[in-house]
């Protein structure tokens, strides 16, 4: 049961593209604004604006300190852990870089290892994914969506849906009515699932 059931569901939107005004950015804004219009609060975070270090495999997150266990790397991931715990739904947008998510996105997700109580942090929270690729091949999106579907299944996160836009120049995704409509639908679905937790 969501302890915040009387309040508006809180969505956290993560943009893993380094390009401001690019297709990931534009479709994330569309999905997020639609969710807010439907009755949610939301925050959009651009990973490229942050200083995030890779997991160092030190296992410091497995040692209790000051009554809790959490990643010991002192960087901008620390406040993101709090935001992940506080949100009711999660949207992640990434371009396809070399048959996978961007380095920013992969680094962010790798650091989830540092979450001591993953069930309390992630289980039951819907996950939506936006993927942008220069190639028109659906296989490009599959290289990103497959791992995220596995992550959602592992963590007990309901799959809210996904949007794939391909072959568009920087920022031109908003010219594709189908992609815009799918992003809006994803925002509404995320809000609906987050509200029903």
In a domain, 134, yes or no: yes
C-alpha to C-alpha distance for 110 and 195, rounded to whole angstroms: 27
Average pLDDT, stretch 30-51? 97
Average pLDDT, stretch 152-171? 87
In a domain, 178, yes or no: yes
Q: State pLDDT tens for residues 69-108.
A: 889 999 999 999 999 999 999 999 999 999 899 999 999 9
C-alpha to C-alpha distance for 93 and 145, rounded to whole angstroms: 11
Contact (CB, 8 A) for 141 and 133: yes
Question: What pLDDT was estimated at residue 119?
Answer: 87
pTM of the model: 0.91
Residue 103: how many other CB atoms lie within 10 Å: 17
Q: Is the pLDDT of residue 6 over 60?
A: no
Question: What pLDDT was estimated at residue 106?
Answer: 97
In a domain, 3, yes or no: no
Question: What pLDDT was estimated at residue 117?
Answer: 87
In a domain, 122, yes or no: yes
Question: What pLDDT was estimated at residue 1?
Answer: 46
Q: Number of folded domains in the chain?
A: 1
Q: In terms of residue numbers, what domain contains 177? A: 10-195
Task: Considering only the C-alpha atoms of the chain, give the largest distance between any 2 of them, rounded to a whole number of Å.
Answer: 51
In a domain, 97, yes or no: yes
Please, what is the average pLDDT of the chain? 90
CATH of the domain at 189: 3.40.50.360
Question: Is the pLDDT higher at 6 or at 160?
Answer: 160
Burial-class residue 49 by CB neighbours within 10 Å (0-12, 13-18, 19+).
exposed
């Amino acid at each position: 049961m969501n302890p915040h059931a009387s309040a508006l569901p809180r969505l956290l939107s993560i943009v893993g593209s380094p390009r401001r005004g690019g297709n990931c950015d534009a479709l994330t804004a569309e999905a997020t604004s639609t969710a807010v219009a439907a009755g949610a609060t939301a925050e959009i975070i651009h990973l490229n604006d942050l200083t995030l270090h890779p997991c160092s495999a030190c296992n410091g997150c497995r040692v209790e300190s000051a009554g809790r266990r959490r990643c010991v790397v002192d960087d901008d991931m620390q406040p993101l852990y709090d935001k992940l715990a506080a949100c009711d739904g999660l949207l992640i947008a990434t371009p396809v870089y070399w048959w996978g998510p961007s380095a920013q996105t992969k680094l962010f997700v790798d650091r989830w290892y540092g979450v001591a109580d993953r069930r309390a942090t992630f289980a039951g929270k819907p996950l939506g994914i936006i993927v942008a690729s220069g190639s028109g091949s659906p296989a490009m999106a599959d290289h990103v969506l497959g791992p995220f579907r596995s992550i959602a299944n592992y963590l007990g996160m309901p799959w809210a849906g996904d949007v794939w836009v391909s072959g568009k120049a920087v920022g031109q995704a908003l010219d594709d009515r189908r992609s815009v409509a799918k992003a809006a639908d994803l925002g509404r679905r995320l809000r609906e699932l987050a509200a029903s937790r």
